[in-house]
Amino acid sequence: MEPSKDVLSAILSSRTRSHLSDYMSLSKDIARATAEQDSNIKNILKIAIVSSFTTNGIKETLQVLCADEGMFTQFYVAEYNQYAQEILDVNSGMYDFEPDIVIVFVDTMTLAGDYYFLPYSKSVDERKIWADDTVDNLAVLAQTITEHSRAKVILHNLELPSYSPLGILESKQEIGFIESVEMVNRRIRDRFKNDSQVFVFDYDRFCSEVGKENLTDLRMYYLADIKLKPALFAALCDRYLTYIRALASLARKCVVLDLDNTLWGGVIGEDGIENIALGPTPNGRPFLEFQKHLLSLFHRGVILAVNSRNNAEDALNVLRTHPSMVLKERHFAAMRINWEDKIANMNSLAREINIGLSSMVFVDDDPVNRDMMERMLPDVLVVDLPGDPASYVRQLRALTVFDGMGITLEDRRRGQTYAEERERRELARNTVSLAEYLGQLGVTVVFEEANHANRIRLAQLTQRTNQFNLTTRRYTEEAIVALVDDDRYWVISASVSDKFGDSGLTGLAIIDKGTQREWRIDTFLLSCRIIGRRVEEALLAHVMGEARTAGAKVVRGEFIGTEKNKVAEGFYEKCGFKQLHEEPGHAMWEFDLRKNFNYPETVTIVQTRQ
pLDDT in tens, 295-334: 999 998 899 999 999 999 999 999 999 999 999 999 999 9
**pLDDT grade, residue 39 (50/70/90)?**
low
Specify the pTM. 0.75
Can you list the domains of the chain with their CATH numbers?
3-247 (3.40.50.1110), 254-397 (3.40.50.1000), 433-608 (3.40.630.30)
For residue 51, give the 3-state DSSP assignment. Answer: strand
Which amino acid, residue 330? Answer: R
> Where are the extended beta strands (E) located within 131-269?
152-156, 198-201, 254-257
Give residues with Cβ within 8 angstroms of 402, minimum separation 6. Answer: 251, 252, 253, 297, 300, 302
Pairwise CA distance, residues 55 & 57, whole Å: 6
Give kind and range of the element (H or E) at residue 27. Answer: helix 20-36
Residue 260 is given by DSSP the state B
Got the DSSP string for 185-213? HHHHHHHTTT-SSEEEE-HHHHHHHH-GG
Handedness of CA 228, 15, 380, 66 (dihedral sign): positive
| Strand ordering across the sheet containing 381-382 | 332-338, 303-309, 254-257, 360-363, 381-382
- The pLDDT assigned to 515 comes to 81
Q: What is the largest CA-CA distance in the chain?
A: 83
- The pLDDT assigned to 80 comes to 94
Three-class HEC string of 252-295: CCEEEECCECCCEECCHHHHCCCCCECCCCCCCHHHHHHHHHHH
Residue 400 CB neighbour total at 10 angstroms? 15
- The pLDDT assigned to 503 comes to 83
Backbone phi and psi for residue 48, each to the nearest 5 degrees, phi listed first: -110, 140
pLDDT (mean) for 382-405? 92
Pairwise CA distance, residues 399 & 429, whole Å: 37
Reference 447, options 608, 266, 271; nearest CA is 608
10-27 burial, b at 16+ Cβ within 10 Å, e below that, comes to ebeeeeeeeebeebbbbb
Mean pLDDT of the chain: 91
Which of 31-45, 135-149, 215-229 has the weakest average pLDDT? 31-45
Strand partners, 363: 257
Pairwise CA distance, residues 187 & 396, whole Å: 30
For residue 254, give the 3-state DSSP assignment. Answer: strand
- The pLDDT assigned to 8 comes to 82
110-134 burial, b at 16+ Cβ within 10 Å, e below that, comes to bbbeebeeebeebeeeebbebbeeb
Which amino acid, residue 157? Answer: N
Give residues with Cβ within 8 angstroms of 252, minimum separation 6. Answer: 302, 358, 359, 360, 361, 381, 401, 402
Is 588's pLDDT higher than 90? yes
| 159-196 confidence digits (pLDDT tens) | 999 999 999 999 999 999 999 999 999 999 999 998 98
pLDDT (mean) for 366-391? 94
Cβ 382 vs Cβ 374: under 8 Å? yes
407 φ/ψ sector (left φ>0, alpha ψ -120 to 50, else beta): beta
Which of 61-75, 281-295, 305-319, 403-417 has the weakest average pLDDT? 403-417
For residue 159, give the 3-state DSSP assignment. Answer: coil
Residue 254 CB neighbour total at 10 angstroms? 25
| Strand ordering across the sheet containing 44-51 | 72-77, 44-51, 101-105, 152-156, 198-201
Give residues with Cβ within 8 angstroms of 68, minimum separation 6. Answer: 12
Which of 27-31, 179-183, 274-278 has the weakest average pLDDT? 27-31
Is 35's pLDDT higher than 90? no
CA neighbours closer than 13 Å in the CB half-sphere of residue 560: 11
**pLDDT grade, residue 4 (50/70/90)?**
low
Got the DSSP string for 545-557? HHHHHTT-SEEEE
Pairwise CA distance, residues 328 & 14, whole Å: 45
**Chain centre distance of CA 88:** 30
Residue 567 is given by DSSP the state G
Give residues with Cβ within 8 angstroms of 167, minimum separation 6. Answer: none
Pairwise CA distance, residues 508 & 475, whole Å: 12
Strand partners, 315: none
Is 1's pLDDT higher than 50? no
Cβ 504 vs Cβ 420: under 8 Å? no
Pairwise CA distance, residues 401 & 551, whole Å: 48
Give residues with Cβ within 8 angstroms of 292, minimum separation 6. Answer: 326
Cβ 408 vs Cβ 460: under 8 Å? yes
Which of 115-124, 221-230, 439-448 has the weakest average pLDDT? 439-448
